[in-house]
Structure 1
Amino acid sequence: MKLKSLLIANAVLLGSFALQAHAEDEAQLIKQGEYLSRLGDCMACHTVSGKGDYAGGLAIESNLGTIYSTNITPDKEHGIGNYSEQQFSDAVRKGVLPDGSRLYPAMPYPDYAKISDADMHALYVYFMKGVKPSSEQPPETDLSFPFSQRWGMRFWNWAFTSDKPFQPIGGASEEVNRGAYIVESLGHCGSCHTPRGLGMNEKALDSGDDQFLAGGSLNSWDVPSLRGLPRWSEQEIVDYLQTGRNDKAAVGGEMKSVIEHSSSHMTDADLKAIAAYLKFLGGNPPLQAYNVQKQQATEAKLTATKGLSEGERLYIDNCGACHFVTGKGAPGIFPELDQATIVNARDPGGLIHTILAGAQQPSTEKAPSTLAMPGFAKRLDDDQVAKLATFIRQGWSNSAPAVTKDQVAEVRKTLKGE
């Protein structure tokens, strides 16, 4: 009788240990999945201010119309609570829902296709057990014909996506390959920084093609190439991703959300891996040769404040206090204008938008201050903004085409009360 009781006690004890081990494993998976969701920037697209995390409803403007993000909480009626792990994987990696309907590639499943099975499992556990369910019902996406016919995405997927898993770069370091995995899969950097084809497809999905991360266009902003980033050191790349600023630039446009919700939450090791990978890619020369004489001439004229053009006068009155007569700004605080990517972009839309609407850097753990640039939409008319932007694009060592007041007027229409 004593032996039987002892065996029962041992069995109960072993069962308790097993349950504890299972709970610890699950807790670790939830923690890992939460981090991976940050790498994937899921929060930015599936969360609206004032609503629950991942409850969806964000309006995503596209060339086809407005697409609303879905509720991806484990709510069984309005979210993904009834998804099996395979169904979850198919939605994330293939853009296919359990009922067979197709997602639009505003959900970057062409890039998420490279997420490993282990990471997909951790993500599934996190979303099912680490996220609070929400009964929020986001607006339905209702595009005009023929884009409303989601079945057509089957052919788009056949033409423009791949089910090939992530392929490590032969001969590259472990750090570079870690960076490649993040950038090519969860980071889905190519969805913005790779040029698009006629079918609105990414022209390349990995580093095997020189078009990958070679730059593109998004909502009338030129999106810069990430290949090599010749003007930035690896540490400056890390600083930018971690804080939204470095000694040369400050974040703007869609990238602000990426910094706020994703890259500022990454580990130092992963940020360094991303930087190492981007520098490894190479392939792009500097924007232009640095013209010392031209830079000095602009600085001298602004310092003397004599014989100024209207664009130069507008700069002194509105911009000089922060960006200075040198166009160099203040390292880590006010970004450089001389040789800046946004200034020299082919399409001046990003620069015009920043002048009109201003900009604010996100608050992050490593840089909690929220430095802001005021917008000048109410202070300057279209002609004045055009002349100011033209001076900035052609002053110092910059050499970009002039801006017209019609271009300013077009951007002004998009501000929507900003």
Structure 2
Amino acid sequence: MKLFKTLTAAIMTVAAGLSVSAAHAQDQQQDALIHQGEYLARAGDCMACHSVASRKPYAGGLAIESGLGTIYSTNITPSKTAGIGNYTEAQFANALRKGVRADGTNLYPAMPYPSYAKLTDADVHALYVYFMQGVAPNDDPAPATKLSFPFNQRWGMALWNWAFTSDKPFVAPANANAEVQRGAYLVEGLGHCGSCHTPRGVAMNEKAFDGSDALYLSGGNLNGWSVPPLRGIAKWSRADIVDYLAMGRNSKASVAGEMTSVVYNSTSHLNDADLNAIAAYLQSLGGDAAAASATGASSASGDTAAHLTAAKNLTLGERLYLDNCSACHFVHGGGAPRVFPRLDGASVVNASNPDALLHVILAGAKTPSTAKAPSVLPMPGFAARLNDDEVAALATFVRSGWSNRAGAVEAGDVRKVRATLAAK
């Protein structure tokens, strides 16, 4: 009997140990899934759109200006009253991939579901677990979106989806290696880069969704900013692209506008393998080498530098540049690598629409603080110092100096951008 009791106790001890080990393994697996979902949420830039400084993370409330009116991002915390706490995983997947809420109504495409349609089941599952178990619930409802008629008729989005979106899963580029395939998945799907960098049609639809179409990532316009093309990025090395995404700066440029938030909230949190995969994919798309060389270094760059150095017979724009800009960007317009962005050949300078450049001149800009580049490098705004005629003259010089060959800027162009800034 004593032996039986001893054996029974031993068996129970072993069973208890196995049970604890199984529970511990399950907890580790769940923790790993939550961690993966958090990483994917960063890659998908969920934080940037669903968070504002005055509210808790993922509680929504960001005002997104669109051609339809102001759209407010929603609360996506697991709150059962204000967020998505009552969503099943299937309903969560439908919201991500199809733009359909749990109650069956349609989301507006400010939510990039046309790109998220490419997400794998495994990634959707990890995201669901993260948002339900890794995010703190917040019961503070986000402001409601109230568009005017007919845009407030959400049922109409079903027709828009039928005409302009696809539910096809991700298809890797043909004959691409594993790194480029991973980059394509991140860019076309999670990163939804085409939402900003692909031109839109009259119905505000993206004109292309993958690299097989030449329009994809060929540039666009966002809230008055000219968004540069990403196809090939012929002037940038792989290291340039990785540095820009990881730090918000490289030897050629620094972020400004909407891209500042993207780097701060999303790309600076990606691992080196994924950053290199994105760079490899973008470079695989090819680019306009002629356009790249047209804005590259040339004898004209040296001529402008020599003229500014001599400081004789200067135009108003040239004098304003020397007085306000040359200390950081220098007479050669090359700036300082990873500190002050170059102006000679810069896409923001040579854009057909000068509004982005005017925004930077008037309001200034600053780099985000990231893990690999924690220092914030600010550029002051000159709205209070320069009038519309002066800003126009300065921008005209910058857009035509060195190797730049962009059009002149009028005072009316500056006035329009200044009014936009004042409204904000």
**What TM-score do you get using the length of structure 2 for normalisation?**
0.96
Matching of residue 25 in structure 1 with residue 29 in structure 2: yes
Residue type at the aligned position of 2:329: H
3-state SS of paired residue (2:421): coil
Looking at structure 2, the residues matched to 291 and 26 of structure 1 have their Cα atoms a distance apart, in angstroms, of 53
Shift, 1:137, TM fit: 1.0
* Superposition map of 1:29-178 within 5 A: 29-178=33-182
Shift, 1:243, TM fit: 0.5
Shift, 1:225, TM fit: 0.6
Match of 1:297 in 2: 303
Looking at structure 1, the residues matched to 314 and 169 of structure 2 have their Cα atoms a distance apart, in angstroms, of 58
Match of 1:380 in 2: 386
CA contact (8 A) 2:234 2:287 kept: no
Q: Deviations over 1:355-389 (max 9, x none)?
A: 00000000001001100000000000001000000
Residue type at the aligned position of 2:371: E
Match of 1:191 in 2: 195
Looking at structure 2, the residues matched to 297 and 6 of structure 1 have their Cα atoms a distance apart, in angstroms, of 89
Which one of the candidate residues 272, 275, 279 is aligned to 2:279? 275
Shift, 1:12, TM fit: 2.9
Query: What do you get for the CA RMSD once the two structures are aligned?
Result: 1.2
Match of 2:249 in 1: 245
3-state SS of paired residue (1:67): strand
Q: Deviations over 1:129-150 (max 9, x none)?
A: 0000101111100011111000
3-state SS of paired residue (1:339): coil
Matching of residue 351 in structure 1 with residue 350 in structure 2: no
Matching of residue 180 in structure 1 with residue 184 in structure 2: yes
Match of 1:365 in 2: 371
Q: Which of 114-123 and 14-23 deviates more?
A: 14-23
Looking at structure 1, the residues matched to 18 and 117 of structure 2 have their Cα atoms a distance apart, in angstroms, of 40
Looking at structure 2, the residues matched to 147 and 173 of structure 1 have their Cα atoms a distance apart, in angstroms, of 43
Shift, 1:63, TM fit: 1.3
Residue type at the aligned position of 2:347: T
Match of 2:228 in 1: 224
Looking at structure 2, the residues matched to 359 and 123 of structure 1 have their Cα atoms a distance apart, in angstroms, of 33
Shift, 1:8, TM fit: 3.8
3-state SS of paired residue (2:422): coil
Looking at structure 1, the residues matched to 412 and 423 of structure 2 have their Cα atoms a distance apart, in angstroms, of 19
Looking at structure 1, the residues matched to 369 and 146 of structure 2 have their Cα atoms a distance apart, in angstroms, of 35
3-state SS of paired residue (2:81): coil
Shift, 1:417, TM fit: 7.2
Structure 2, gaps ≥5 residues long: none
**What TM-score do you get using the length of structure 1 for normalisation?**
0.98
Q: Which of 291-300 and 60-69 deviates more?
A: 291-300
> Which portions of structure 1, spanning 4 or more consecutive aligned residues, are displaced by more than 6 angstroms?
none
Looking at structure 1, the residues matched to 8 and 298 of structure 2 have their Cα atoms a distance apart, in angstroms, of 90
Residue type at the aligned position of 1:341: S
Which one of the candidate residues 299, 316, 323 is aligned to 2:322? 316
Looking at structure 2, the residues matched to 330 and 202 of structure 1 have their Cα atoms a distance apart, in angstroms, of 36
3-state SS of paired residue (2:47): helix
Looking at structure 2, the residues matched to 288 and 231 of structure 1 have their Cα atoms a distance apart, in angstroms, of 8
Shift in CA distance, 113/302, structure 1 to aligned 2, threshold 3 Å: same
Structure 1, gaps ≥5 residues long: none
3-state SS of paired residue (1:416): helix
Matching of residue 200 in structure 1 with residue 195 in structure 2: no
Looking at structure 2, the residues matched to 103 and 345 of structure 1 have their Cα atoms a distance apart, in angstroms, of 32
3-state SS of paired residue (2:420): coil
Shift, 1:10, TM fit: 3.6
Shift, 1:15, TM fit: 2.2
Residue type at the aligned position of 1:153: M
Match of 1:258 in 2: 262
Shift, 1:5, TM fit: 4.3
Q: Deviations over 1:78-131 (max 9, x none)?
A: 111111111111111111011100000000000000011101110000000000
Residue type at the aligned position of 1:356: L
Which one of the candidate residues 392, 399, 407 is aligned to 1:393? 399
CA contact (8 A) 2:231 2:287 kept: yes
Match of 2:417 in 1: 411
Q: Deviations over 1:268-300 (max 9, x none)?
A: 110000000000011323345246222121111
